[in-house]
Amino acid sequence: MSIILLHGSVETSTEKQYLEGLKNAAMKGYEYLFETNDRLLAVERAVNELEDNPLYNAGYGSVLNRDGRVENDGSIMDGVTGRFAAVASMRDIRYAISVAKKVMENTKHVFLAGDGATIFAREQGFKDDNCVTKEQLSSWQIARMLSLQGKELEFSAYTGLKKETDTVGCVLLDDEGHLAAGSSTGGSFFKQPGRVGDTPFIGGGIYASKNCAVVCTGRGEAFIQTLTAKFIDDQISAGGTPKEVGEEAIYRLHHLTGETGGVIILNRYGHYAAVHNCSSFPAAISIDGRTQDLEVHKVN
């Protein structure tokens, strides 16, 4: 049995076009898994679909930082080998997860950041890309005006201002029972340049082992401080179910930090869960190449 589970970030719409985008990404991932039996490639291609879709905060359509620039983070992890790689604060390159995968395959490093990540991506054949959409630019212009007026706290009151969103992510189980995870993000809206969230932090926002694959989304600093992804893996490895552990992890996150967020979890037996404590959390799943209805659990 093969399973591909994706999310489009907490506080992102669950309207039809958002869910369809996630379903299409799940099917794209399955196509590559079926054709190549390469779990990491399948995760990469599924996330690439979301990086190409301006509805999500990753790749093209990413939020802008305080200076009006896109800085992307991405990561990928193999549950079989434990290999992990990530990039952070990378500018002018759309496919952060793909660059992270190249770091894993073609270097001795684990993490590249800033200009170094961008230079490496160009060396690997990635082309410079303007990831700024008209919608995100308009949101940034409003935010900048409010910031200059000392009214940062009023950002959310403007209906024309795109909501701050976070990661897109994917967890995968192949027919051999092997797990993998990948994630990509433009980070938090109007962030300080150089700010990095949980997406590229192993154990914070992403983790994969022989027992579990998990990706987190929400206020990245909270997931890093609480090592939520590793906490989930530990609890799954101790015998917990994805739904129970997901609910415990979100409760723990809120108890320790006061923050909200969401997680997608998949274990080696094919059990899965999408859990959050926000207003929305779009997610989609493909099982053996067929998309199915997915119950998303909300923790009150």
Distance CA 277, CA 27 (A): 27
Instruction: Say which of 118, 167, 228, 291 is annotated catalytic.
Output: 167
Q: Are 28 and 46 in contact (CB under 8 A)?
A: yes
Radius of gyration of the chain (CA): 18
DSSP string, 205-258: TEEE-SSEEEEEEE-HHHHHHHTHHHHHHHHHHTT--HHHHHHHHHHHHHHHHS
159 is catalytic: no
Distance CA 276, CA 269 (A): 22
- In sequence order, the β-bridge partners of residue 291 are 286
**Beta strand 84-90 with 111-113: parallel, antiparallel or unpaired?**
parallel
List phi, psi (to 5°) of 202: -60, 130
Distance CA 31, CA 169 (A): 18
Distance CA 135, CA 133 (A): 5
3-class SS of residue 23? helix
- In sequence order, the β-bridge partners of residue 212 are 267
Cite the active site residues. Answer: 167
